[in-house]
Amino acid sequence: MSNKDILQTIAEFTSIEQALDYFEIEFDSRFIEEYRTELVKRFNGYVIIAKPEDWFSARRALKNAYCKVQRGRLDPHTRSACRGCTSCQRR
């Protein structure tokens, strides 16, 4: 799949759930309902900046966006671990 193909596929998604399913990323529907806008903005930003070349790099952009939103909910003054993040590689 070329760069244009993956970007076209991403553009065809009508919801973030479609993207999560396509990239085989498990998600919490309650979390998505609450943070949908922030997650979509961050994912689109990562896609614009990184310009994914294939399925794997696009998946990485979505996982990074999901994880960043999850970690943003943590208290910055404690050293708490990321919990409940289904895509986090930082456990």
CA distance 56 to 61: 9
**Confidence label for 81 from pLDDT (cuts 50, 70 and 90):** low
Which pLDDT tens digit goes with each residue over 29-43?
Answer: 999 999 999 999 999
> Residue 3 pLDDT > 90, yes or no?
no
Could you report the per-residue pLDDT of 12-64, keeping only the tens digit for each? 999 999 999 999 998 889 999 999 999 999 999 999 998 999 999 999 999 99
Residue positions counted in the chain: 91
